Structure formats: structure tokens, C-alpha cells
Structure 1
Amino acid sequence: MTPALSVLDLVPVRTDQTTADAVAASRSLAKVADELGYTRYWVAEHHNMPAVAATNPPVLIATLAAATERIRVGSGGVMLPNHEPLVIAEQFALLEAAFPGRIDLGIGRAPGTDMLTRYVLRGGATAAADEAVAKFPQYVEDVATLMHPDGVEMAVGGRREPLRATPRAASVPTIWLLGSSDYSARLAAARGLPYVFAHHFAGQGTAEALDLYRSTFQPSEANPEPRTFLTVNAAVAETAEEARRLALPQAQAMVALRTGGRLAAQLLVEDAEEVELPPQHQHLAETMLQRWVVDEPGAARERIEKLAAEYGVDEVMVHPVAGAHVATPSGSSPAREATLRLLTA
């Protein structure tokens, strides 16, 4: 069975791009996904990284939802310990009011940033940041409750006062828990929430996490059955050789991330081909490329179908990692768009 397809976008920034260029390229990519019938389009939260412009999911979601017509737009994800629950509840409740039935709130527990940014986001209080991680289950509950049309009532000064994210909510975003370990799998199962394991990033432990989630799932009113999908990195081109060339800049960036190097702006394909990695780093790059979907269209589609069957999912979220050649217009990402088009051709 052919799985439904969705898109994960970290809003990559190339060496030839400004932040404005990167956002323009992602806006164009979202339009392509919308036109092709992709199910959802999620953006990440990362801070203080020259290679990534996805620093503020709610702002990006508003931009992308306004530029599209039917596709669901959401976060993959909001790193909840970085924020107060009421702020996230208000942001996503307002997005849902503006684009009813089209908003997903994917929530993660990791900071998604370096220690300095985490320190600043929490007002310079390291203890507060650590406490926010410890309180993650309660924060998830707080966000869900505050977005509900009934909201909550709190005792203040001897009186009970109502508190809700929006004054008259008619619908609420779908909450998903995200993770790369079994922590969020257990929490999502216990709360009866949809869950996504970061297969595109972790690459290992996916089957175990999904099995744990499914086997311990407690039905909820909104979700009587476990609900999940698979995330994969993909670069698709007319030939497997070209697909591999296009994936090279992302592979080198991930090697830098995994080995403590500097995550600089993403290289253009021709510049990446000039880089000589040490043998151990080259082996790491090859291992990652083998886990990704990097191929010509027919083989790529077959690989995605096999992955969906292997993990028992009916939806696959593609993270298009195809880079750009020299002289590519700076406000576009034609190889990422081609990956989406070729997977549905």
C-alpha cells in the first residue's frame, strides 16, 4: 500500500542565502507540497545555528499556512521546555483560529539548541531550564488544557478566574509528542496522544520505540487508537548518482554535528564535492547515506513503501535534504522541490 506523504522542513540556509532567501525557498516548497497533495508540512525549532533558519515555529507556520490552501501545517516540533505553556497554547490556539483544521502542534522535550541559547531563553536561570525539562509532562497537560474551549479556572485573591488560550475556541490543534528515545513514547502512550519517533535523525531504535508506544497505548477520547508515522531524509533525482551528489552537503553537515564540528551554512553541491573528509568521518557519512532515501524516483518510492511496511505506518514524512548547485537562484531550492515532485510522479 502506498503511504501518504508529508514534509519536514528545517528551513536550511545555504552559503549563498540570507535568512530571507531561505524562508522564501521554504515558502515555495510548501506551495509545491500543497499542490502535490502532501498531507502535512512541519517546521522545526533550532536556535543559534547558521545552517538553520527555523528558529520560531509559530511565525513560520503562520507564513506557510497563509501561502497554502489545504495542507496541514505544524511544528516538528516546538521544544516546550524553552517556553511557558501559556505562550505556546495562545500561539497555536490563535493559529488554529486563523487556519481551522490545518494546524498541528508537535512537541519535543529537548532544548533544540546550545547551552547559551537555552540559558538566555529561560531568562538566565539554569535551574529554571532544568526544572522545565523535569516538568515536561505537566507542561504538555497545561498546553492541552489551556487550548481547550473550556480552559481552566484558577483561584486568585479569593476569587476563581477563568484562563484560556483564546476567548472562544471553536477547534483545537492536534497535539503530537516527538522524541528520539523511549521517554516521549511512554508519555504519549500514557496520555493517549499521537507520537512520532525521530527516525530521520536517530536512525536507530525506531522499531523499539514504536513497539513500546503501541503496546502501552491508553485510548483517549481524541485518539482511540495509536497514531504515528515515519520520518526519513530523502534526496531524489533523475539518476541515483545525481541524488547522491545532491545529498552530499547535508551529509557533511550531519557529520559535523555528530563529531563536534561547527554547523556552518550548508555548502553548495560543487563546494561539498571539494571537501575531503577524514576516513572515519567518511565512513560516518556513508553510513548515514545508506539509511537515507537517496536514489532515482522508482527506487526511492519503493524504498519508502518498504519502510512504511517495515514499521507498520500509513504515512511517511519526508525531510528533503537535496542541496543546490552553483548559480541556483538564492530564493529557491529546486532540488528539494524536485524530490517532492518525483516521489509523487
Structure 2
Amino acid sequence: MSSLALSVLDLIPVRGSSSGAVQTSGQAVGASMALAQRADELGYRRYWFAEHHNMPSVASTTPPVLIAAAAARTSRIRVGSGGVMLPNHAALIVAEQFAALEALAPGRIDLGIGRAPGSDPVITQLLRQSGTSGDVERFPQHVHDIGLMLRAEGATLQFTSGGEYTVRATPAASGSPELWLLGSSDYSAQLAASRGLPYVFANHFSGHGLQRALDLYRSQFQPSETLSEPKTFLTANVVAAPSADEASARALPQLRMMARLRSNRPLTPLETVEQAQQGLADAGSDARVSEQALIDGIRSNWFIGTGDDVRERLEAFAAQYEVDEIMVSPVGGEFDSAPLDATPGRTQTLELLAR
């Protein structure tokens, strides 16, 4: 690999097929575990799992469970969350889960935290019914609390009536996960800067506001006990293939899914390349023009092409924004012929970029 470090963001896509068969959750997760192992072998720096809920095309719902499984199957790569959507969870539970992960894989765990719910309002309400840190206004305090509880000395609570109470995420921690703030807004950049935390801008969402967010983070950064200077990298949707035509074909299923999401149409399991091509061809003239316009806009922020071309563009992208790491979300789709328990298109992307 070049001097640019590459990492992986995985949403664990669940796809259908022209025959009507749909990947099971087990097949999708198994394919992602194999992909994590391959990323480890290829020298990627990190492998993060996202948190999304109630989406027919996404099986990445529980980052801590997936991180534990990936950590057990790898030996070198850092594994983590990209991210845990904190408003859905109690701060103590998150701290305990990641303290346990750190004990299982010392020095290899990243805790990426986000403020978005990761789903629709109904699912958000269900996630918060039992009482969590769902008060978004207290998000900065919850982030602070998790950082304290993960330390060996724990966090000290002061009772209004007098006295103290110590809370530790695990009884005898010998280390703690690296805590990252994730976001795509000025708010997250400024919060990360004020707390002296590493920060990741979610460029794979849309890319809007990237330069401003990085400028705010770097200019307002306050050194902390764990970080003396700004630390950041960027995410990007990537498809690499032996030819540009194949890369474009493999990008189409995810591009159509994103267009469907942005136009508030019902979501489905991810299409295969053949399904996506046929679906676009079968659309009425006006609908096809409208969808193609959405696809073109989304695609403009993606990196699609041959391995050499994509790697060169990623290196230029990193240099432009002065980062030494890019986290790629390998979004290449599959042809109907691909086995349901494998993800050859995404594996191919990682292999071509690592050469």
C-alpha cells in the first residue's frame, strides 16, 4: 500500500437476486466477516461497522456484536464502530460494551460515536422506550461520561446530599478504546475540537460542508490528556474493478438505493447489477430521467473506476484535505452469479486498492 493509509467502513449490505432469492442475515454477516479478514491480510488500518436499523438492505444493526466477531477473526487490524448512535443507548452500556471489547482485543478497539438516530422516527422511539441517553441536548455530557467511565480510575459521581460514588465500565481496565466523534456538521466538528477528541467527517453521506467542518475542527482544537493535536480522516464511497465499465455497473445497485432513499420511495434488499440495470431500463421516460439525475448527483462524490485510477484519486483527495487516512465504504454490487454467502465485488475493491 502507498503512504496513504486505508481503512474500511462496512454497513453489511443485504442483497436480493433476479431469481427472487434474498441473502439471509447470516449470509450477509458471514460475507462481511470474510471481508474483514481479507482487509486484515491486505494491511488496512481499521475496519468499522455502522449502526442502522430496520433497513432491508443493511444488516449492520449492532456494532459491538459485529466488532467482537471481527476481532476474533483478525489479528492486526483495528476494529470499531462507525459509529454507535449514542442517543439510542445508555452511556454506561456503551462504556461497558467497549471496555469488554478492549479486554478481548487490547489496543485494537475504536469507539466511534455519532449523534444521529440511524433510523426513522418509529424505530428511534422503540430504541428509546426503556430510557437511554436519547436526550440529544445532553449528547456532549454523555460523550464526556463515556470517556471517564472507560478509564481505569472510572468516573466519580457527587451526591447532592454529600459523598461520592465511583462508576467503572469494567473492574480492572488495563487500557481503553480510542474514542472518536463522527459527524457531518459544524456541531460535531466543534464538539470534537473543544473536547480534544479525534474527529471523522462522514464524507460518504454527501460531502457538503467538508472543508468548513475540517477548518472548524483544526482551528478550534483544544489539546486533551489523550490527544495533543487534531487527528482526523475522511470517508468515501468506493468501487474499484478491473475496468471502468465493470466498476460503473457494480456501482449502480447502491446508487439506485441511495436515489430511492432520497426520493422517499420504499426500500428493498440491495439489487444485483442485473436487477438494477433492468429496473432503470424499465422505468418510464420521465421517471428514468429523474432517477438518472439523482444518480448522477450522488455519483459525483464517489470514487468509481479501475484500481489504479481510484487509488490515485483517493491520494489526491487526501492531499487536498491534508489527511493521511481514508476510510473507504466498498459499495460495489454483485452480479446474479455471485454466491449469496460471499461479496466478491467488495473484496475486489479492497484488493485492487491495496496493490
Q: TM-score when scaled to structure 2?
A: 0.93
Q: How does 1:260-275 map to 2 (within 5 A)?
A: 260-275=264-279
Deviation at 1:155, TM superposition (A): 5.0
- Whether the 8 Å CA contact 1:45–1:54 is kept in 2: the answer is yes
Q: How does 1:120-139 map to 2 (within 5 A)?
A: 120-123=126-129, 132-139=135-142
Please say if 1:326 is aligned against 2:336. yes
- 1:145 corresponds in structure 2 to 148
Deviation at 1:286, TM superposition (A): 1.3
Deviation at 1:73, TM superposition (A): 0.2
- Whether the 8 Å CA contact 1:229–1:314 is kept in 2: the answer is yes
- Whether the 8 Å CA contact 2:145–2:155 is kept in 1: the answer is no
Q: Which amino acid aligns with 1:233?
A: N
Q: Which amino acid aligns with 1:80?
A: L
% same residue: 54
Please say if 1:204 is aligned against 2:208. yes
CA distance in 2, matches of 1:194, 1:158: 35
Deviation at 1:258, TM superposition (A): 1.0
Give 1:315's match in structure 2, choosing from 325, 328, 342.
Answer: 325
Q: Which amino acid aligns with 1:60?
A: L
Please say if 1:303 is aligned against 2:307. no
Deviation at 1:214, TM superposition (A): 0.5
Please say if 1:98 is aligned against 2:109. no
> SS where residue 190 of structure 1 aligns?
helix
Q: Which amino acid aligns with 2:208?
A: Q
Q: How does 1:198-277 map to 2 (within 5 A)?
A: 198-276=202-280
Per the alignment, do residues 136 and 63 of structure 1 end up closer, same or farther by CA in structure 2, a change over 3 Å counting? same
> SS where residue 204 of structure 2 aligns?
helix
Unaligned stretches of 5+ residues in structure 1: none
CA distance in 2, matches of 1:242, 1:99: 38
- Whether the 8 Å CA contact 2:206–2:298 is kept in 1: the answer is no
Give 1:112's match in structure 2, choosing from 118, 126, 140.
Answer: 118
> SS where residue 135 of structure 2 aligns?
helix
Unaligned stretches of 5+ residues in structure 2: 17-21
Deviation at 1:153, TM superposition (A): 2.9
Number of residue-to-residue matches in the alignment? 342
- Whether the 8 Å CA contact 1:188–1:195 is kept in 2: the answer is yes
- Whether the 8 Å CA contact 2:206–2:301 is kept in 1: the answer is no
Show structure 1 runs of 4+ deviating over 4 A. Answer: 155-159
Q: What is the RMSD computed on CA atoms of the aligned residues?
A: 1.5
- 2:52 corresponds in structure 1 to 46
- 1:77 corresponds in structure 2 to 83
> SS where residue 135 of structure 1 aligns?
helix
Moved more, 199-208 or 47-56: 199-208
- 1:66 corresponds in structure 2 to 72
- 2:9 corresponds in structure 1 to 8
> SS where residue 279 of structure 2 aligns?
coil
> SS where residue 200 of structure 1 aligns?
coil
Deviation at 1:124, TM superposition (A): 6.9
- 1:175 corresponds in structure 2 to 179
CA distance in 2, matches of 1:44, 1:263: 18
- 2:19 corresponds in structure 1 to none
CA distance in 1, matches of 2:61, 2:208: 26
- Whether the 8 Å CA contact 2:240–2:305 is kept in 1: the answer is yes
CA distance in 2, matches of 1:320, 1:332: 14
> SS where residue 126 of structure 2 aligns?
helix
Deviation at 1:119, TM superposition (A): 0.6
Superposed CA deviations along residues 11-53 of structure 1, whole A, max 9, x for unmatched, are: 1111130100110010010001000000000000001111100
Superposed CA deviations along residues 54-84 of structure 1, whole A, max 9, x for unmatched, are: 1100000001111111100000000001011
CA distance in 1, matches of 2:215, 2:290: 33
- Whether the 8 Å CA contact 1:82–1:132 is kept in 2: the answer is no
Deviation at 1:158, TM superposition (A): 6.2
CA distance in 1, matches of 2:187, 2:302: 24
> SS where residue 164 of structure 2 aligns?
strand
Q: Which amino acid aligns with 1:136?
A: F
Q: TM-score when scaled to structure 1?
A: 0.96
